[in-house]
Chains A and B, each alone.
Chain A
Amino acid sequence: QVQLQQWGAGLLKPSETLSLTCAVYGGSFSGYYWSWIRQPPGKGLEWIAEINHSGSANYNPSLKSRVTISVDTSKKQFSLKLSSVTAADTAVYYCAKVHWGSNVLYYYYHMDVWGRGTTVTVSS
């Protein structure tokens, strides 16, 4: 049974860089994508980015210029960096395990394991 444990700084000042890491315990690290999703206070989920064990990554176009996602397969960890943060980046950030692939007809894409979330507040 895969479990995700995430950590990182919870209070940032505007213009600083958000840095979060998620460790994968149990199960396989390869064969899946590993994603970051955030949820501003009182709002819905926003997909940020994802990466697989070989470093192939996809990014939300609205955040791509500020986001770096990386993977360390030796430690079974993946990380998120978001630069030049503002108050609009205040949110709970989740890491998640992604099943992504296709059959003859469609792509399947779902997150079956989630981290507990890290609250990140940007304030001067």
Chain B
Amino acid sequence: QSVLTQPPSVSAAPGQKVTISCSGDSSNIGNNYVSWYQQLPGTAPKLLIYENNKRPSGIPDRFSGSKSGTSATLGITGLQTGDEADYYCGTWDGSLSAGGVFGGGTKLTVL
């Protein structure tokens, strides 16, 4: 059971928009920045979004992030078949079990 909660799967057609949610609590998302990672099949995760809404160099602006309270959202517009991947949210958890935490991952299917 992951500390952060994500939907197992989402789907949308090419060209459409999709959002992926990530829910936590005050010990993690509520008081820390959120990051998002894309994992294409058979590859290592890749940083997509950091500090809630910042994109590393090379990440297109089709990808966006936001945070409100103890939840965060990843948005992807103009879906492409190459976006089909697993997406993970992550942050720091400052509770007694302090450490890095991830969501369980969301499989994006581009229909």
Interface of A toward B, CB cutoff 8 Å: 35, 37, 44-47, 50, 58-61, 94, 98-100, 106-112, 114-117
Contacts and interface: CB of A to CB of B under 8 A. Distances in A.
Interface of B: 2, 31-33, 35, 37, 44-47, 50-51, 56, 88, 90-92, 94, 97-105
Contacts of B92: 100, 107, 109
Interface secondary structure of B, over-half rule? strand
B91 A44 contact: no
B99 A45 contact: no
Contact of A114 (B44, B56, B99, B101): B44
A109 B88 contact: no
A44 B100 contact: no
A interface SS class: strand
Contacts of B51: 108, 110
Contacts of A44: 2, 88, 102-105
B44 A94 contact: yes
8 contacts: A47-B101, A61-B99, A107-B33, A107-B92, A108-B32, A109-B32, A109-B90, A114-B46
B32 A106 contact: yes
A47 B2 CA distance: 11
Contacts of B46: 114
A18 B46 CA distance: 25
A100 B91 CA distance: 10
A110 B35 contact: yes
Contacts of A106: 31-33
Given A58-B98, A106-B33, A112 B104 contact: no
Interface centre among B31, B33, B37 (most CB of A within 10 A): B33
A100 B94 CA distance: 12
A93 B41 CA distance: 15
A109 B103 CA distance: 14
Contact of A109 (B2, B33, B45): B33
Of B2, B99, B104, most buried by chain A (CB within 10 Å of CB) is B99
Contacts of B97: 61
